[in-house]
DNA sequence: TACTTTATATACTTTGTAAATGTATTAATT
DNA sequence: AATTAATACATTTACAAAGTATATAAAGTA
């Protein structure tokens, strides 16, 4: 192997952090603001995914876990690498931005970004950011917002990957609390895929899956008949993995 | 964004080139040999995937296309990025190798590799290599051979991705000549998935797929009843994409 | 040459299972 | 009592699984 024209690149990791509020799918975005030094007015406001460059002695996966922990405080979270973005012009959008005037010229270098998506139970998570605003946004909105760099493309690819994977792998449960109702699970699948699912068949199918385990507790604090709660048993799922063929919903 | 501890990495692309010989799935491997300067004996012989580092002004995808063209002479080939490998110790295996004595120390640096897999009609392809042997190997064999670096892991991941994707996307046809028999197509799916498929139902299902188009020609040169030939029509497939739900086979 | 053998391609049928759809009842709150 | 959603069960329809039969080529054989 000829290493004579060896070329070195910046490497960063971007985390697409997905959450579910029992209605729609959300994603974590970090706000960027820049005030014009002369007038003091806010000139730029856009959003980025949660990202950071990797450290020299750090595995890619660990960088993603670090970023996730910095932003959510959470550990042992479902995290999956889905794509790497390395177009030579991927920071070109930034060139037209005033950002270039205030930040390190390092941005002008070539930057590779490895994309990860995280699935978290967002119901009780508090988001952290030392210097900028950070918040949840509906994914549908985020796809039309002004995102920095190629974060639009990264988000879209993360969503596509999630939509695909959720059909055959039991990852949807990562977005729900430990106990959930079948309606909540159905709403989640609908939010991810964008399709509506027939309730009767969805229930019938789920009830005969041995890894969807009913609990004695019932739903609480709702203004109608409370639903039975369930939890997902990963062990049973793995034991019965070969018996399955088609969709999980 | 703080860029004070900016870190630069080597970036390379590895291509997992898949082919099909109407019996089994094959993959392209490049042989590495090193002769002991003292005795002249071959000390090391192992195999790598087709890979090379990226150029400074080159998109990741283009690097993959370049590597593929250098090795096969082919253009306009199905190529898909499937994962990026960035463990800090991913070249550690090489440390125990005598290779380190004869090559640039650059290998000791951290190297990120972006994995792509290519699907080609291998029936009429000639492989190129200026300095080393290059050949097709059955994937099953390759998975137990001595592959360099973490190429074992990369190959396995490529195979997993192919196995998954082939269920819902019409990429299997990339491994066949333009015209093929239904038996060849069935054998291909069996080779990829490792499962046997019922011939009667496979045929019935395929014959009612409008994008599997029968041709007037028949199979030639076989010592039994010649089969009808078909081709895959991508336009029809795309037009009828929403009508589909389940497996493609 | 004529006939048989061999190997695979191809067609059609029956059966079992799961999805799609229709209808009814239950259990909580307001 | 009205409202809202949860839950149960039955019927119909579609498709996959599995059984059986026939067609068409080359190659072998009398």
Domain for residue A158, yes or no?
A: yes
> A11 with A114: CB under 8 angstroms?
yes
DSSP collapsed to 3 states, B131-178: CCCEEEEEHHHHCCCCECCCHHHHHHHHHHHHHHHCCCCCCHHHHCCC
The whole-number pLDDT of residue B110 equals: 81
Given A165, A183, A218, which residue is the final one in a domain?
A165
The whole-number pLDDT of residue A29 equals: 98
CB of A110 less than 8 A from some CB of B: yes
The whole-number pLDDT of residue A158 equals: 98
Task: Give the mean pLDDT of chain A.
Answer: 89
In chain A, what is the straight-line distance between the N-terminal and C-terminal CA atoms, in Å?
A: 48
Domain for residue B125, yes or no?
A: yes
The whole-number pLDDT of residue B221 equals: 87
Domain for residue B71, yes or no?
A: yes
Statement to judge: residues B199 and B111 lie in one domain = no
Q: For the segment A108-123, what is each residue's pLDDT rounded down to a tens digit?
A: 468 899 999 999 999 8
Nucleotide nearest to A227 (CA to C1'): D6
User: What is the value of ipTM here, to two decimals?
Assistant: 0.91
DSSP collapsed to 3 states, chain A: CCCCCCCEEEEEEEEEEEEECCCCEEEEEEEEEEECCCCCCEEEEEEECEEEECCCCCCHHHHHHHHHHHHHCCCCCEEEEEEEECCCCCCHHHHCCCHHHHCCHHHHCCEEEEEEEEECCHHHCCCCCCCCCEEEEEHHHHCCCCECCCHHHHHHHHHHHHHHHCCCCCCHHHHCCCCECHHHHHHHHHHHHCCCCCHHHHHHHHHCCCCEEEEEEECCCCCCCCCEEEEECHHHHHHCHHHCCCCCC
Q: For the segment B57-72, what is each residue's pLDDT rounded down to a tens digit?
A: 899 999 999 999 999 9
Given A165, A195, A230, which residue is the final one in a domain?
A165
- The number of beta carbons lying within 10 Å of the beta carbon of residue B247 is 12
Domain membership of residue A228 as a residue range: 172-243
Mean pLDDT, residues A93-113 taken together: 58
B187 CA from D15 C1′ (Å)? 23
Statement to judge: residues B161 and B181 lie in one domain = no
The whole-number pLDDT of residue A2 equals: 45
Given B142, B165, B188, which residue is the final one in a domain?
B165
CB of B103 less than 8 A from some CB of A: yes
> How far apart (Å, rounded) are the C-alpha atoms in residues B103 and B90?
17
Identify from B2, B3, B32 which residue to disrupt to test chain A contact, counting A C-beta atoms within 10 A and taking the largest count.
B3
Half-sphere exposure of A7 (CA within 13 A, CB side): 21
Statement to judge: residues B221 and B110 lie in one domain = no
Domain for residue A237, yes or no?
A: yes
The whole-number pLDDT of residue B43 equals: 74
Statement to judge: residues A180 and A156 lie in one domain = no
Domain CATH number, residue A93 = 3.90.79.10
Statement to judge: residues B161 and B199 lie in one domain = no
Say yes or no for a CB contact (<8 Å) between B11 and A112: yes
Q: Is the pLDDT of residue B5 over 60?
A: no
A185 CA from C28 C1′ (Å)? 21
Identify from B66, B86, B151 which residue to disrupt to test chain A contact, counting A C-beta atoms within 10 A and taking the largest count.
B86
The whole-number pLDDT of residue A96 equals: 54
The whole-number pLDDT of residue A3 equals: 46
Say yes or no for a CB contact (<8 Å) between A1 and B52: yes
Mean pLDDT, residues B95-103 taken together: 49
CB of A1 less than 8 A from some CB of B: yes
* Closest listed residue to residue A60, CA positions, set B106, B13, B88, B161: B88
Number of domains in chain B: 2
Domain CATH number, residue A217 = 1.10.10.10
The whole-number pLDDT of residue B40 equals: 78
Mean pLDDT, residues A162-187 taken together: 97
């Amino acid at each position: 192997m000829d290493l004579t024209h060896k070329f070195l690149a910046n490497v960063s990791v971007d985390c697409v952090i997905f959450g579910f509020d029992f209605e729609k799918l959300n994603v974590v975005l970090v706000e960027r603001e820049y005030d014009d030094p002369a007038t003091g007015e806010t000139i730029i406001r856009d959003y980025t995914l949660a990202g950071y460059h990797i450290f020299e002695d750090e595995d890619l996966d660990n960088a993603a876990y670090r970023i996730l922990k910095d932003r959510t405080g959470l550990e042992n979270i479902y995290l999956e690498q889905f794509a790497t973005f390395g177009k030579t012009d991927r920071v070109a959008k930034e060139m037209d931005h005033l950002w270039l005037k205030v930040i390190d010229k390092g941005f002008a270098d070539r930057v590779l970004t490895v994309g990860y998506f995280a699935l978290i139970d967002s119901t009780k998570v508090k988001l952290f950011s030392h210097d900028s605003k950070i918040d949840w946004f509906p994914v549908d909105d985020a796809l039309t917002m002004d995102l920095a760099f190629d974060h639009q493309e990264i988000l879209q690819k993360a969503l596509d990957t999630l939509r695909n994977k959720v059909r055959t792998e039991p990852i949807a449960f990562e977005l729900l609390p430990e106990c959930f109702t079948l309606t909540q699970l159905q709403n989640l699948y609908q939010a991810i895929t964008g399709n509506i699912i027939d309730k009767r068949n969805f229930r019938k199918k789920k009830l005969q899956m041995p890894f969807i385990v009913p609990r004695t507790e019932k739903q609480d604090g709702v203004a109608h008949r409370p639903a039975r709660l369930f939890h997902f048993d990963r062990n049973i799922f793995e034991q019965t993995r070969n018996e399955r063929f088609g969709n999980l919903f």
